Structure 1
Amino acid sequence: MPTPSAPRPDLLRLDYDTYRALPAVANSDLSRLRDALDGRPARAQSSANDGALSFGTAFHTALLEPDDYVAGQPGLNDTLVWWLVDGVKMDTRLNELLAVGRPEMSALFTEPETDTLCKLRADLIVDNPEHPFTIIDFKTTMARDADHFLWQCSAYDYDRQAAFYTDALQAERFLLVGVQKVEPFGVFTIEVSPQMLAEGRQKYQRLLRLLKAPATAPAYRADAVQAAVDALGLGPEE
């Protein structure tokens, strides 16, 4: 990781819709740009209300902000949600980090290589004298085992997210926690390696450069990439 050249950005406590409205580039925005580059269908923008019916969102709320959890939402199995939460807390190390960490914290920062205003929202940040500065991201997964989840970390660009967040917050480690949502309901904790971070860094910087200069996209994807940039409303000013 490069030597920090600027102070660590402030951590902000924002509700989800306020965070989404910030005029800066998020990791999810980079995913939309990647989809356009790869020829995948455009993703719909989400809001807090849309996410309320998502199993992943429900799990994150129950784990990180249990007082805000609303039971009985259509299509959700509350028992399963809390079963997964209990599974995470049975891991002594994760339970300790949950106890001292700060959940759902946001930050605004300028990515130095492309001079792009960016933002992030981390599941859990541990800034505690007894621990290295740690970012933790929880993923519900259908992975068969830990090796399969490790493969998903690259295939689903979790490595890009890890690098984007780690570089921005000058974190000392990034943990990806996969939580199986089907039997045997395993919990897989991966400390993102320097190699994974380097690969993820290449991914996010490439996409940020494309955001700055969408005309550099391959000709057969040019229209889709430009449309994605326009939809984000974050392209270079005329």
Structure 2
Amino acid sequence: MSDLLPTPAHRPDLLRVSYDDYRALPAIANSDLSRLRDALDGRPPRTDSGSGALSFGTAFHTALLEPADYQPGQPSLNDTLIWWLVEGVKLNTELNRLLEGGLTERSALFTEPTTGTLCKLRADLVADLPGEPYTIIDFKTTLARDADHFRLQCSHYDYDRQAAFYTDALQAERFLLVGVQKVEPFGVFPLEVPTDMLAEGRRKYMHLLRLLRAPATAPAYRAAAVQAAVDALSK
């Protein structure tokens, strides 16, 4: 297929599939690990309501990564703000260059080697440019006050786990998390995820994958919720 990146033997193909088809793939995604984490932490199960922050983030990603698919005039969304944020990202010379040279919204299937779990991912942007590190870029809308605050949020919201999950799967050499302020002053905060953050993210996702394979190892006071989450993910 012409829209696949050239891949070494150890790197899974990047597939151009619709979001619905991606969701239907019978494999474990990073978002599934978040549901398992919620059960382990005693948080209520997530619901995909398609409202609020989720719909704003989805609209922003569509405008940035697949602008031809953007549908203006959706209820409760400020189209002007969304396009303002897109322009803010593109004013960053490096990010704009990666957007122009990379592939957007690509999916991959892979087997995590330690647990043997079939997994999947969907990357915002992948750049495999001549003479440059193989790079994954992920964009996050944020209320962070500044770049330092965004870096702290990366751990709190488990963005470090996503970075490690994707980096290990695609054997990437660099992972960029890009915070995009959705309130004034609408800053853009690129963060090249460092090795210590990747190591912590790797610890997180491996713990959850092992728990997925052996839910009975969860603490007794969370056992029922964890088992329910595992059962839900297997459906």
User: Aligned residue for 1:30?
Assistant: 33
Aligned CA-pair RMSD: 1.5
User: Aligned residue for 1:205?
Assistant: 206
Determine whether 1:62 maps to 2:63. Answer: yes
User: Aligned residue for 1:89?
Assistant: 90
User: Aligned residue for 2:122?
Assistant: 121
Counterpart CA distance in 2 for 1:233 and 1:122 is 23
User: Aligned residue for 1:11?
Assistant: 14
User: Aligned residue for 1:174?
Assistant: 175
TM-score, length basis structure 1:
0.93
Distance 1:45 1:211, change over 3 A: farther
User: Aligned residue for 2:226?
Assistant: 225
Show CA shifts across 1:174-197 (max 9, x none): 000000000000000000001011
Counterpart CA distance in 2 for 1:30 and 1:136 is 20
Counterpart CA distance in 1 for 2:80 and 2:137 is 24
Q: 2:109 aligns to what SS in structure 1?
A: strand
Q: 2:133 aligns to what SS in structure 1?
A: coil
Show CA shifts across 1:206-227 (max 9, x none): 0000000000000000000000
Aligned residues: 227
Distance 1:192 1:51, change over 3 A: same
Aligned-residue offset at 1:128:
1.5
Aligned-residue offset at 1:15:
0.6
Gaps of 5+ in 2: 1-7
Aligned-residue offset at 1:27:
0.1
Aligned-residue offset at 1:67:
0.5
Counterpart CA distance in 2 for 1:91 and 1:10 is 29
User: Aligned residue for 1:138?
Assistant: 139
Q: 1:17 aligns to what SS in structure 2?
A: helix
Show CA shifts across 1:88-133 (max 9, x none): 0000000000000100000000001111000000000001214210
- Contact kept in structure 2, 1:87 and 1:185, CA below 8 Å: yes
- Contact kept in structure 2, 1:84 and 1:179, CA below 8 Å: yes
Counterpart CA distance in 2 for 1:131 and 1:104 is 20
Q: 1:14 aligns to what SS in structure 2?
A: coil
TM-score, length basis structure 2:
0.94
Partner residue of 2:24 out of 17, 21, 28: 21
Distance 1:150 1:207, change over 3 A: same
Which portions of structure 1, spanning 4 or more consecutive aligned residues, are displaced by more than 2 angstroms? 50-53
2:34 maps to amino acid: S
User: Aligned residue for 2:46?
Assistant: 43
1:91 maps to amino acid: N
2:22 maps to amino acid: Y
Gaps of 5+ in 1: none
Counterpart CA distance in 2 for 1:32 and 1:19 is 18
- Contact kept in structure 2, 1:72 and 1:78, CA below 8 Å: yes
Q: 1:185 aligns to what SS in structure 2?
A: coil
Counterpart CA distance in 1 for 2:143 and 2:74 is 22
- Contact kept in structure 2, 1:140 and 1:180, CA below 8 Å: yes
Aligned-residue offset at 1:155:
0.7
Percent identity reads 78
Counterpart CA distance in 2 for 1:98 and 1:56 is 18
